[in-house]
Amino acid sequence: QVLRQKQVDSPEIKQVSVRRFATFDLFTRKNIETQDSSETTDDQWVEYRSVYFPEFSALLRDNLGPLQVNEVLNSFDNTGNVVWPSEEVMAHYCLQKRNMFGAVCELGGGMTGFAGLMVAIGADVREVLLSDGNEKSIQVRGLIERNRQDGKFGSTHVSAVVRWDCESDISVLEGHFDVVMCADLFLDQYRACLVDALRRLLQPNGMALVFAPTRGETLRLFCHLAQQTGLYVSQHQEYDPQVMDVHLKMLRQGKDAYDENIHYPLLITLTKGP
């Protein structure tokens, strides 16, 4: 606990925490007591329940162990330690549009795959595949199993693949999904892999949903590359009234609390045809 406090008090962490807007308040969090003696003391199961669709909730595992400074500062390795705002918004949007899904793949879902889990729980879908480029995110299989045991998936087939940037994984699933989705675009060096995966995994009439803030030039360059590969790209700023309401309230608090360049996810839709 002392180590954790020292790390939190460090200047680097303080700077990050000021810049890191935490939530759009679309889901409530409640710690779940577990009777399983095999659980480690550092893990806590948390129920995330939709505020606007309270009949839908997912169980996630929060790791409460020592905070690693390098993991907090490195967005990629930290993906999924908490539900990031873009992932939270995507999960909420998917519940709002839960009748549009058939076979779904979430790319880059980190250690939670939260939006994909919420689709599996809230929508009447055939299958949901969760995947990520981060080897640590194999933990998502434990989340799938826990939610399955809790009876949350119904007849939906839910599975996980670790690498979305692996050619053999992509090639066997080419043209398989009517919806492919992704929240936030952290590292520019994976942009080409991500665009290629989105394009190849989509059915001819499918749609990709990407929720991401502008992050300087990052989002613009992603959209430009997607267009170069032949995808039709559309950008939406106002796509959900609850999210927009929080966004406008936070803007009034100023950039020290909220910077839309890094905190407000735009919705990008990508299709193979106009």
CATH number of the domain that 104 lies in?
3.40.50.150
Q: Mean of the pLDDT values across residues 211-230?
A: 95
**In-domain check, residue 11:** no
Residue 236 and residue 247: Cα distance in Å, rounded?
Answer: 14
- pLDDT tens digits for 145-192? 999 999 999 999 999 886 777 788 888 999 999 999 999 876 778 899
* Mean pLDDT of the residues in the chain: 83
User: What pLDDT is attached to residue 5?
Assistant: 42
Which range among 8-12, 130-134, 240-244 shows the weakest confidence by mean pLDDT? 8-12
Does position 210 have pLDDT exceeding 80, yes or no?
yes
Of these ranges, 35-49, 106-120, 199-213, the one predicted with the greatest mean pLDDT is 199-213
Q: Please give the span between the terminal C-alpha atoms of the chain, in angstroms, as a whole number.
A: 55
Does position 138 have pLDDT exceeding 80, yes or no?
no
Q: Which long-range contacts (CB under 8 A, 24 or more apart) does 145-149 make?
A: 146/45, 146/59, 146/61, 147/58, 147/59, 147/117, 147/120, 147/121
**In-domain check, residue 34:** no
Number of domains in the chain: 1
User: What pLDDT is attached to residue 134?
Assistant: 63
**In-domain check, residue 175:** yes
Does position 54 have pLDDT exceeding 60, yes or no?
yes
**In-domain check, residue 21:** no
- Beta bridge partners, 62, equal 44
More reliable by pLDDT, 7 or 36? 36
**In-domain check, residue 247:** yes
**In-domain check, residue 26:** no
User: What pLDDT is attached to residue 76?
Assistant: 38
User: What pLDDT is attached to residue 189?
Assistant: 81
Does position 112 have pLDDT exceeding 90, yes or no?
no
Q: Is 52 left (phi over 0), alpha (psi -120 to 50) or beta?
A: alpha
**In-domain check, residue 107:** yes
User: What pLDDT is attached to residue 18?
Assistant: 42
CB 118 within 8 A of CB 94: yes
- Beta bridge partners, 208, equal 180, 270
User: What pLDDT is attached to residue 19?
Assistant: 52
Look at residues 34, 38, 60, 41 and name the one whose alpha carbon lies nearest to residue 49: 60
User: What pLDDT is attached to residue 64?
Assistant: 47
More reliable by pLDDT, 241 or 13? 241
pTM listed for this prediction: 0.85
**E-strand spans in 70-164?**
103-107, 127-131, 157-161
User: What pLDDT is attached to residue 142?
Assistant: 86
**In-domain check, residue 66:** no
What's the domain range around 189?
80-271
More reliable by pLDDT, 255 or 204? 204
In degrees rounded to 5, what are phi and psi of residue 181?
-135, 155
Q: Mean of the pLDDT values across residues 45-64?
A: 90
More reliable by pLDDT, 141 or 240? 240
Look at residues 262, 201, 199 and name the one whose alpha carbon lies nearest to residue 225: 199
More reliable by pLDDT, 70 or 254? 254
Give the three-state DSSP class for 47: strand
- pLDDT tens digits for 61-111? 876 444 343 443 343 334 444 688 999 999 999 999 999 999 999 998 877
